[in-house]
Amino acid sequence: MECREFGTTNEGLQARLYTIRNQNIELSLSDFGAALVSAVYRPLNRDIVQGFTEVKGYQNEVQYMGCSVGRVCNRISKGTFTLNGTVFHVPVNNGPNSLHGGLIGFSDRIWDAEPHEDHIIFRLFSKDGDQGYPGDLHVQAVYRLLEDGWSVTYTGTAEADTLFSMTNHAFFNLNGPCSDTALDHVIQTDADHFRRVDPDGQTYGHALSVEGTPFDFRQPHLLGERIDADDEFIRNGNGYDHHFEVPGCGMRTMVTCRNNDLTMEVRSDLPGFHLYSSNFLNGDSVHGKQGGVFPYRSSVCFETQYVPDAVNLDDAETPLLKKGETRSNTTEYHLCTGGINHECQ
- Residues involved in catalysis: 169, 303
Give ∠ CA 196-201-207 in degrees, rounded to 5. Answer: 15
Instruction: Note whether 171 and 192 are within 8 A (CB).
Output: no
Dump the DSSP string for 148-168. TEEEEEEEEEESSSEE-B-EE
Backbone phi and psi for residue 264, each to the nearest 5 degrees, phi listed first = -125, 125
The DSSP element (H or E) to which 78 belongs, if any, is: none
Q: How far apart are CA 159 and CA 326, in angstroms?
A: 10
Q: How far apart are CA 153 and CA 255, in angstroms?
A: 18
Query: Coil, strand, or helix at residue 56?
Result: helix
Bridge partner list, 221: 187
Residues of the chain by 3-state class (helix, strand, coil), percent to 5: 10, 40, 50
Instruction: Note whether 239 and 277 are within 8 A (CB).
Output: yes
Instruction: Note whether 33 and 101 are within 8 A (CB).
Output: no
H/E/C letters for each residue in 248-279? CCCCEEEEEEECCCEEEEEEECCCEEEEECCC
Instruction: Note whether 39 and 65 are within 8 A (CB).
Output: no
Report whether the peptide linkage leading into residue 71 is cis, meaning its omega lies within 30 degrees of zero: yes
Written as one letter, the residue type at 252 is R
